[in-house]
């Protein structure tokens, strides 16, 4: 079922989560062990992140450098198929621009369509760690809006081969990312919102936000979206803080702010166990207000951990 239909049919706020594929060599059982405790909250869908192939250069015995491909977390498509088969709920793969030509993107989407995947989350993706800025593949999509455009074309039966006759349209529900505190590359919020609206006009049917810790940022973001004519569901993304290092790691990686009150309380904590308890309590407060204000879904970023999410979700779902 499509995400927008899950939301339309729901009588209350839904629970969902995002998971990260296990590292190469790990068992999918470990992933299921993380998901199993959360199934009591009846998530209608689970997102699965995609991690692009990268390269490292290693010196050989003769002194020459050898370029080696690394992909520490493969398996997004396979995990989505396993989730749908194992739990009988919808799995949503992240589709990214980086590392794919348009033809490779089309082939991946065809595979997903054959598997009965109804939803995709279209993202530009991050730049390679060794590069200062994002560089698309030759003949690849440069922006998430380009990716949305390609998926929407397939939904109309338009494939890259314009000589293909009687092609069967796909029927993906397309989600995109939104940034309550602005995408870090956007010069201002108005610019960011303009391109978010463009993605919706090209075919995006729902928005999932970057994590945030100040609900007012989300409410303001929703108001600004509605003011410029964005009417699709906007799903808030939540991540409970768990360790002292999150004070610097989360702002650095995700380009977000932590409210002064949260920062001060974390700084008072004597150890990570205390930080975790604080993160759970903060998450409960966030969710309570979001649900009271009618958020369609509470979407949790698990990052491989489920115990704190379970304690927060247990209060509401």
Reported as a single tens digit per residue, the pLDDT across 297-310 is 999 999 878 899 99
CA distance readout (Å), 308 to 125, 214, 240, 274, 285: 27, 19, 7, 12, 14
DSSP 8-class letter at 136:
P
> Which has the minimum average pLDDT: 61-70, 191-200, 276-285, 300-309?
61-70
Active site residues: 18
How does residue 250 score in pLDDT terms, banded at 50, 70 and 90? very high
Report residue 254 as tokens.
């995700």
Q: Which two tokens stand for residue 190?
A: 């108005």
For residue 67, name the pLDDT band (cuts at 50, 70, 90): low
Residues 80 and 115: beta-carbon distance below 8 Å: yes
| Whether the predicted pLDDT of 163 surpasses 90 | no
Residue with more model confidence, 85 or 59:
85
What pLDDT score was predicted for residue 130?
65
Q: What are phi and psi of 310, to 5 degrees?
A: -60, -40
Q: Tokens in use for 21?
A: 């594929």
pLDDT of 254 above 60: yes
Q: How far apart are CA 151 and CA 161, in angstroms?
A: 14
pLDDT at residue number 71: 64
pLDDT in the model for residue 135: 83
Beta-carbon contacts of 9 under 8 Å, excluding residues fewer than 6 positions away, are: none
DSSP conformational letter for 164: -
Whether the Cβ atoms of residue 309 and residue 287 lie closer than 8 Å to each other: no
The radius of gyration of the chain's CA atoms, rounded to the nearest angstrom, is 20
Which residues is 67 bridged to in the sheet? Answer: 57
Sign of the C-alpha dihedral, residues 165, 114, 141, 186?
positive
Q: What value does the mean pLDDT of the chain take?
A: 92
Mean pLDDT in residue range 126-154: 87
The pLDDT of residue 56 is above 60: no
| Both structure tokens of 14 | 């839904």
The b/e string for 44-66 (b: 16+ C-beta within 10 A; e otherwise) is bbbbbbbbbebeeeeeeeeeeee
Cβ neighbours for 256, distance < 8 A, ≥ 6 positions apart: 181, 210, 211, 212, 213, 250
**pLDDT (average), residues 42-66:** 76
Segment 164-177 shows an average pLDDT of 94
- Residues with Cβ within 8 Å of 283's Cβ and at least 6 positions away in sequence, in order, are 238, 240, 308, 312
Span 151-155, mean pLDDT? 97
Query: Is 30 a residue whose pLDDT tops 60?
Result: yes
CA dist., res. 171 & res. 282, Å (int): 38
Average pLDDT over residues 192-215: 98
Which run of H or E residues covers position 5? helix 3-9
What pLDDT is attached to residue 112?
A: 96
Angle at 287 between CA 283 and CA 289, to 5 degrees: 120
**At residue 73, does pLDDT exceed 70?**
no
User: What confidence tens digit (pLDDT) does each residue in 83-125 have?
Assistant: 999 999 999 999 999 889 999 999 999 999 999 999 999 999 8
């Amino acid at each position: 079922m499509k995400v927008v239909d899950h939301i339309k049919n729901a009588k209350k706020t839904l629970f969902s989560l995002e998971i990260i594929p296990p590292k190469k060599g790990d068992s999918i059982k470990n992933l299921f062990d993380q998901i199993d405790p959360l199934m009591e909250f009846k998530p209608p869908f689970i997102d699965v992140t995609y991690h692009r192939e990268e390269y490292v250069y290693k010196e050989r015995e003769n002194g020459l450098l050898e370029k080696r491909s690394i992909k520490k977390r493969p398996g997004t498509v396979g995990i989505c198929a396993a989730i749908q088969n194992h739990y009988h709920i919808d799995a949503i793969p992240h589709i990214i621009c980086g590392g794919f030509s348009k033809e490779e993107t089309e082939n991946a989407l065809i595979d997903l369509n054959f598997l009965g995947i109804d939803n995709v989350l279209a993202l530009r993706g991050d730049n390679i760690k060794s590069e200062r800025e994002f560089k698309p593949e030759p003949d690849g999509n440069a922006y998430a809006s380009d990716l949305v455009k390609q998926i929407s074309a397939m939904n109309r039966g338009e494939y890259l081969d314009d000589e293909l006759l009687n092609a069967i349209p796909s029927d993906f529900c397309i989600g995109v990312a939104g940034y309550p505190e602005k995408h870090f590359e956007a010069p201002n919020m108005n610019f960011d919102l303009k391109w978010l609206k463009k993605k919706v006009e090209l075919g995006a049917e729902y928005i999932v936000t970057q994590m945030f810790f100040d609900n007012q940022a989300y409410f303001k973001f929703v108001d600004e979206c509605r003011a410029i004519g964005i009417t699709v569901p906007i799903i808030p993304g939540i991540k409970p803080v768990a360790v002292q290092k999150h004070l610097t790691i989360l702002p650095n990686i995700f380009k977000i702010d932590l409210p002064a009150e949260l920062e001060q309380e974390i700084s008072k904590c004597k150890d990570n166990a205390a930080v975790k308890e604080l993160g759970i309590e903060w998450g409960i407060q966030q969710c309570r207000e979001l649900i009271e204000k009618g958020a369609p879904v509470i979407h949790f970023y698990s990052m491989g951990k489920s115990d704190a999410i379970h304690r927060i979700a247990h209060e509401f779902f």
